[in-house]
Each structure stands twice: as structure tokens, then as C-alpha cells.
Structure 1
């Protein structure tokens, strides 16, 4: 009986950990483009009239990189199950392109979890509130 219970517990643990890693794997080797951001009173297309922010996750270096609609950025990230956090963005070019860049960076600081919608979009959340939503793009 104890052997059966031990095997069942082991199997369930492996199943749960493999689900978590497969969820994380959906982040990698993809460029994600912002399609929604919460908070600002300026319309989305007004914040990002020419170029939408993008983000890519590198599993090996544990860094994100992309553009915040105007300037490029890189930052460290940590991830554990559904929890995610981003470090301070590294040096980038310093062009000014409106308010969208600062809105993007300020909200990135508040992100603490992530999820995927049924249609495969990446949601970055603060607790249970979707702060940003991204869709996959091809480079």
C-alpha cells in the first residue's frame, strides 16, 4: 500500500512539474508584440503610433529584450511557476518618442505573474489584473 502511495505521489509531482515547465517553455523563442496596456488615459494607438513594444525571453541567459516602442532594452527576469519579475532595464538609446515608452517601463515594474489565454496570447499581470497583453509575431 505504501509503495502504491509513493508511486502515485511521485507520478503526480512529475506531472505537475512538467506542466509548469511546459507553460514556461511557451515564453521562449518567440517575439511578443504588445496589443493592450492598462492605465493610461491616452488611446493605445496614441501611445504607440509608429511601433508597438515587443519582448522576447531568453531561457539560457534569463534576460528579456525588445523595444519599448522607441528604444531597445534588456533586463533580467526570474520565473518560478506562475510568478515572474523583471529587473531594471539595462542601457538603451535615449531617443524620446512620447509617453508610451515610460508607460510601458512603469507597468513592467509592477508585473508579478503571467498567464496564457486560450488563444495563445501572453498576459502579464499584477496579481489577478491583466496589465499587458501580447500576441506572437514573426520577425
Structure 2
């Protein structure tokens, strides 16, 4: 009887440890890279029409808890919070104020609603609303 309890507790501990390791590994992959948007859900305009000249980028700074990048036209920065696979962003603040079409507004509107993230088996960053992928980024650096 004691042997079965020990084996059960050992198995539970191993599963818990491996799940927490996966969470940490997933969030560690966010840092030290620039991510370029390759898909965004929602708009009826084709992706290439939204971002004809420059695709939005994002990079995560672990120390300052800020994201920085461009939204296809203007630079931006925002604070973010991570908790496991949950993520939230403050309102992005543009650093320049050029008007460049609808792509910028779609990007900023969507990123404010994101509440989860994952990095898939292809190494792509997915920003989600619940379980629905809203934005997908590929590493550029």
C-alpha cells in the first residue's frame, strides 16, 4: 500500500515539475529576439494590404517589463505582464505620430485585447484571445 502511494506521489511530482519547466521555457523564448508579424485575425483587408511596406514587429524586454517595436508605421512601447501562459499589455504608446492607414489601428486594437500566448512547434509566437490565435509572429533575429 505504501509503495503505491509513494509511486503515485512521485509521478504527480514529476508531472508538476515538467509542466512548470515548459511554462518557463515558453516564456524564456520571448526574450532576446525580434518578432515580425505574419498573420493577424479580424480585418477584411488582406494582410499585404494592411502592411504593404513594413510588417509590425515586437520585442520583449524582461528587465523593464516592456515591449517595443513598430506597428508598421510608428514606433511604440507598452508595459506587459506575464503569468504562466497569460499575458496582458498596457495601452501601447506611439513614439511618432505619422498616419499610415488601417494596419496600425488594427495592430494596436488587437494587441490590447490579447490575454494568452504560446510558442508553437515551429517556433512562432502566437498571441491569443482565450484559445483563438489573433496574431502570429516569426523570429527575425
TM-score with structure 1 length normalisation?
0.90
The count of corresponding residues between Structure 1 and Structure 2 is 138
Name whichever of 114-123 and 97-106 sits farther off.
Answer: 114-123
Q: Tell me the residue number matched to 1:119.
A: 122
Q: Hey, what's the Cα distance between the residues in 1 that align with 2:42 and 2:13?
A: 44
Q: Tell me the residue number matched to 2:28.
A: 25
**Secondary structure of the residue that 2:137 maps to in structure 1?**
strand
CA-to-aligned-CA distance 1:81-127 (integer Å, 9 cap, x gap): 11111011124110001110000000001101111222111111111
Unaligned runs of 5+ in 2: none
Matched, 1:39 2:28: no
How far did residue 68 of structure 1 move? 0.2
How far did residue 58 of structure 1 move? 0.9
Q: Tell me the residue number matched to 1:16.
A: 19
Q: Superposition pairs for residues 96-135 of structure 1, below 5 Å? A: 96-135=99-138
Q: 1:77 aligns with which of 71, 75, 80?
A: 80
Unaligned runs of 5+ in 1: none
Q: 2:53 aligns with which of 50, 54, 64?
A: 50
Matched, 1:88 2:91: yes
RMSD of aligned Cα (Å)? 1.7
Larger Rg: 2
How far did residue 14 of structure 1 move? 3.2
Q: Hey, what's the Cα distance between the residues in 1 that align with 2:22 and 2:41?
A: 29
Q: 2:65 aligns with which of 62, 66, 70?
A: 62
